[in-house]
Structure 1
Amino acid sequence: MVNIQTSYDLINHLSNTTSMSLPPLYTCARIFEDSVDLLGSSLASLERATRDTPRLKQVLDTQKVFGLVPERDIQNAQARLKSETHPQITYLLEKLEKEVARLRRKKASLESDFNLRKVRLESVLRKDSVESLEQEAKYERLRMLRTKRDRLKYSLSRQRLQKYRQIPLLPPPDQS
């Protein structure tokens, strides 16, 4: 590849040095060959630069984003979509209704079970509270009876002591 500046320098050099010694036809042929080389390198550079032009054409080409669609095509597409989705939607709705009914039955069952257990617990608590009240009354009566027994024992021991005091003491033994 020969650049432009080199060709001009070569021409000037050849014209200065060969004007006396080289024939003008040889100089002209040499300049022509240099020009052909320069054109060849320019052509190669141009080909490399324009190699991507088809892709650029596609990139830069504007496309219609919104196009008009006939009303009949839209209606056909809607009808087709409805015919495809309607059975699926109907099936899913029926399935959902069955599941909701099952969950309602389960809820009612759980509520009745809860109420039954609540009543049972209340009756057990009432029974326990009645039994605990009866038990408490028995313990209180037992404490009262024990206290009465202790008082009677004390009273009996006092009476015995008084009875022993009423018995005359024996004379002291003779010391003689």
Structure 2
Amino acid sequence: MRWLALAAAAVDREADRLTELDSAIGDADHGANLKRGFAAVTAVLEKEPPPTPGAVLLAAGRQLISTVGGASGPLYGTLLRRTGKELGDEPAVSRARFAEALDAGVSAVARLGGAQAGDKTMLDALLPAAEALGESFGAAREAAERGALATVPLRARKGRASYLGERSVGHQDPGATSSALLMAALDEAAA
């Protein structure tokens, strides 16, 4: 739960920046949508704390799907729900076990969105983060941040930004940026 509370705080703090990034290549609602969604996640988890890490992620994923509009709700909801489902009812989770579960969550996001690395999406941060998590939480954070920055020169091939074609080049992807925020919160929670 600490991870998601820290993620909610980061999204709240960075919502205007996320919306600004989204205004250049999207529909200018990414920050506001995630802020609303993670506030709802925090409220649900505080009201009735789930008993296991997997149950926490399942509940958070359901809440994001039901409160966040656009593609972000289903994508982030799928990430958390699939990760939680993979963890099952384990009462405590090692970093290695969490890395396996997160990898399954990231794969589910890729299937849902039909995207891959280099498409200028949240996967450009999540894929390297999931891989680096095998090494450490800090490595996952750094890989996600590098992945988000690496979206700047890319031409979007998926999502709303893909409608802009060449005009999407030169802008950092908001989904990759918010994914990097989540990985930074995970690193902070693990510290």
Question: Could you state the TM-score of these two structures normalised by the residue count of structure 2?
Answer: 0.19
Higher fraction of helix:
1
Q: Which has the higher contact order (CA 8 A, sep 6+)?
A: 2
Question: Could you state the TM-score of these two structures normalised by the residue count of structure 1?
Answer: 0.20
